[in-house]
Amino acid sequence: MELSTIHGLRDLLANREISAEELTNQALEKIEKIDDKIKAFVTVTKDEAIQVAREIDQKRSKGESLGPLAGIPMALKDNMCTEDIKTTCSSKILYNFIPPYSAKVYEKLLGAGSILLGKTNMDEFAMGSSTENSGFFPTCNPWDLNCVPGGSSGGSAAAVASGEAVFALGSDTGGSIRQPASFCGVVGLKPTYGAVSRYGLIAYASSLDQIGPFTRDVTDCALVMNAITGHDSFDSTSALVDYPDYTRFLVNDIKDMRIGIPREYFGEGIEPEVEAKIREAINKLEELGAVVEECSLPHTQYALPAYYIIAPAECSSNLARYDGVRYGLRVEDADDIVSMFSRTRDQGFGIEVKRRIMLGTYALSSGYYDAYYLKALKVRNLVKQDFDKAFEKFDCLITPTAPSVAFEFGSKADTIAMYKQDVCTIPINLAGIPALSLPYGLVNNMPVGLQFVGKAFGEGNLLRVAYTLEQNSDQTRLEPSLEGVK
């Protein structure tokens, strides 16, 4: 039996038509068979996975109560700390780092009964849009091995799309869940900033980073959200609000829902075939009863440049801790401590990470702080106000997730071309609001992603509209043939 959805497998597990151990073994066999081509995993935790699966089967046979994800195999991006399991951020500087504690999300998933299959590849420290910046190797797109899976959570997206894992978690600072979800044809959700604990997530840009799920469908997305959201006193930015049961929003009805189409996200810079697909989806939603209207988010064009000041500024500070002293790589035979610091950082960090540390250090340095960093913060506020205003009128907004479908390896060698991958996703992180990418059809045989954007803690509306489209369209559930990997 193929791995499919959480909700499908949950019933099979509950009825004992399959055991957690059998399911885990199937997933591990699939990884063994195809991951030398997909390369989604940095570490496979085979022994641990089988052990946890056996424990779950034993509990079930004793009639003990089990969590809502009991027996479901999943994968975590390799920037989430897992106690006693290597956590590298796909960086040479952390190639040997074994955390002494686990990220809150991992604890929560274990508590829900989920089984960790392994840690997935990413752009080094989550900086990139293709996994080509991984310090180890790039991941391939299961739809076409010559194409990137997107990034930075490319390994998680590819693992779910190829059926290696039932679901996975990624992190999204400027698009790193939604863009790879779009490229690989799976559902990806970046929750509201503060809705999922960042405790144990290795920081890139702390005011933007947020953890979220990759799943095969919208129902699974709601199920994983139920497991990972909630207040956590170990994360000072965690929001103390009431978190709903997200499955409540899985209703096939969007009658009178007000949907805004921000004109700045269409036209120049967006591939015409991708735009045509998005417009097709919008028409479908209108047919289903939504009230659709064009709108404007006038500061959109300033979001990308502001992000490339704020994110590097925060990363230059966050990455100062990798000095070879406490953990990770340390070069041998340095003459003194200063040369040990600088040679460790020189050897341990890749070119994109170094670029951002330098950009950020520059933007924060005295004399430039006001001109760059403070100004970027002001722009961030304007971008947020655009959204606040739009949500006075609309329940949700729709845009493309990415300007194109997945591209070939090496085809975005120009740094700015790569940065532009995130034009449609970055403004959402600056505003701290949630957005969901839903697959919608193919262009040149590669998946397209539709982005639903909601107001803070408005994930419910996003799930509702995505679920309704999913139930009424044959374009939202996509599966690659995996021809090239069999």
Show which residues are catalytic.
77, 152, 176
Q: For ligand GLN, give the closer residue by CB, 52 or 211.
A: 211
**Binding status of residue 172 toward ligand GLN by CB under 6 A:** yes
All residues at 6 or more sequence positions from 5 whose CB lies less than 8 Å from its CB, including other chains: 166, 215, 216, 217, 219, 220
Q: Which of the 8 DSSP states describes residue 409?
A: T
Q: For ligand GLN, give the closer residue by CB, 173 or 401.
A: 173
- The alpha carbon of residue 243 and the mean position of all alpha carbons in its chain are separated, in whole angstroms, by 20
Other C-beta atoms lying within 10 Å of the C-beta of residue 14: 12
Q: For ligand GLN, give the closer residue by CB, 285 or 357.
A: 357
Q: For ligand GLN, give the closer residue by CB, 422 or 470.
A: 422
Q: Which segment (14-22, 166-174, 260-268, 371-379) binds ligand GLN by CB under 6 A? A: 166-174
Shortest Å, Cβ 9 to ligand GLN = 29
**Binding status of residue 451 toward ligand GLN by CB under 6 A:** no
Shortest Å, Cβ 452 to ligand GLN = 18
**Cβ contact 445:377 at 8 Å:** no
**Binding status of residue 350 toward ligand GLN by CB under 6 A:** no
**Binding status of residue 173 toward ligand GLN by CB under 6 A:** yes
Distances (CA, A) of 99 to 94, 200, 237: 10, 9, 22
For residues 352-411, which are near ligand GLN according to CB under 6 A?
Answer: none
Structure token pair of residue 71: 């027996």
Nearest-angstrom CA–CA distance, 139 and 309: 28
Phi-psi domain of 163 (left: phi exceeds 0; alpha: psi -120 through 50; beta: other): left
**Cβ contact 167:201 at 8 Å:** no
Supply φ then ψ for residue 115, to 5 degrees: -115, 125
Sheet containing 73-77: order of strands: 41-44, 115-120, 73-77, 167-172, 210-215, 187-190, 435-443, 446-453, 396-400, 258-262, 291-295
Shortest Å, Cβ 271 to ligand GLN = 18
Q: Which segment (5-13, 22-30, 168-176, 402-410) binds ligand GLN by CB under 6 A? A: 168-176
Identify the residue among 176, 238, 344, 437 touching ligand GLN (CB under 6 A).
176
**Binding status of residue 229 toward ligand GLN by CB under 6 A:** no
For residues 145-164, which are near ligand GLN according to CB under 6 A?
Answer: 152
Structure token pair of residue 79: 């920037």
For residues 100-139, which are near ligand GLN according to CB under 6 A?
Answer: 126-129
Q: Burial level of 4, CB count in 10 A (0-12/13-18/19+)?
A: middle
Shortest Å, Cβ 185 to ligand GLN = 19
All residues at 6 or more sequence positions from 95 whose CB lies less than 8 Å from its CB, including other chains: 88, 135, 328, 329
Site string for ligand GLN, 292-321 (x = CB under 6 A): -------------------x----------
Identify the residue among 422, 455, 460, 478 touching ligand GLN (CB under 6 A).
422
Nearest-angstrom CA–CA distance, 116 and 166: 11
Site string for ligand GLN, 256-295 (x = CB under 6 A): ----------------------------------------
Tell me the HSE value of 305 on the side-chain side, using a 13 A CA sphere: 10
Shortest Å, Cβ 191 to ligand GLN = 13
Identify the residue among 73, 99, 142, 174 touching ligand GLN (CB under 6 A).
174
For residues 75-94, which are near ligand GLN according to CB under 6 A?
Answer: none
Contact residues: ligand GLN, CB under 6 A? 126-129, 152, 172-176, 204, 311, 422
